[in-house]
Amino acid sequence: MALLERNDTGSIAHLTLNAPEKLNALSEGMLEALQSEFDALKNDQAIRAVILEGAGKAFCAGHDLKEMTAGRQAEDGGKAYFKTLFNRCAKMMQTIQKLPQPVIAQVHGIATAAGCQLVASCDLAVAAEGTKFGVNGVNIGLFCSTPMVALSRNVPRKQAFEMLTTGQFIDAARAQDLGLINRVVCEEQLSAETRTLAELLASKLGVAVKIGKEAFYNQLQMPLSEAYDYTGDVMVENMLYRDTEEGISAFIEKRDPNWTQ
């Protein structure tokens, strides 16, 4: 049984974390599978949107604590093992935002610790009612420092700090209010709602979404004036595409665009 399953329908790739007996924990094998699949998606021009979900009763419960406990048995107490593990996880999370395609987390059950980080690292997220989100490592004496990076770039500072220091869960409605997720739907409609969003994204000009996604994350790290200079150059580049010219002409002429990409 594969730890990560991929099924493509049209221009949408559907990835399923497939270790339900471990609540889809981010084991070494799962991280490797995710990294491999995301690396493949980078150059897959047929795919315009990606949906990421978890099999079983949970989206993702974070790192595999049993594997981490075994890693402590090394002569250095696990220092090298843990450094490698967290570096691999960080690389995978950052790869999501470097993909040309938007990635939507389809979340149910729980998303905890690095699982919550995974939701925060995706470009969009749709959650079922009743889903719980938390960065609760502090409850076992392990502050969620790496999940904090993605969380604090989604959620306002004081609310993120409260989640990190109390270890308490928030529900889907609160997660939406804070900006961690985009939509909350009943569980029966979760797949359909996520699919509808993915299809909407996939209907857009792929090259425009690609350069726009890259620019979105780049400009967030810049001072205001630098961000305007940078995004102005991006707009110029975008305007020079033949398909952009076609899109504008189609809008003016009140017809559907005939895009080549």
Q: Report the 3 state secondary structure along the chain.
A: CCCEEEEEECCEEEEEECCHHHCCCECHHHHHHHHHHHHHHHCCCCCCEEEEEECCCCCECCECHHHHHHHCCCCCCCHHHHHHHHHHHHHHHHHHHHCCCCEEEEECCEEECHHHHHHHHCCEEEEECCCEEECHHHHHCCCCHHHHHHHCCCCCHHHHHHHHHHCCCEEHHHHHHHCCCCEEECHHHHHHHHHHHHHHHHCCCHHHHHHHHHHHHHHHCCCHHHHHHHHHHHHHHHHCCHHHHHHHHHHHCCCCCCCCC
Confidence bin at 33 (pLDDT 50/70/90): very high
Indicate the CATH number for domain 4-202. Answer: 3.90.226.10
- Residue 5, pLDDT > 80, answer yes
Mean pLDDT of 121-144: 97
What's the predicted TM-score (pTM) here? 0.95
Residue 75: the pLDDT is 80
- Residue 73, pLDDT > 90, answer no
Indicate the CATH number for domain 206-252. Answer: 1.10.12
Mean pLDDT of 153-179: 98
> What percent of the chain stands above pLDDT 90?
92
Residue 260: the pLDDT is 86
What does the mean pLDDT of the chain come to? 96
pLDDT single digits (tens) 192-250: 999 999 999 999 999 999 999 999 999 999 999 999 999 999 999 999 989 898 899 98
pLDDT single digits (tens) 209-223: 999 999 999 999 999
The residues spanned by each domain of the chain are 4-202, 206-252
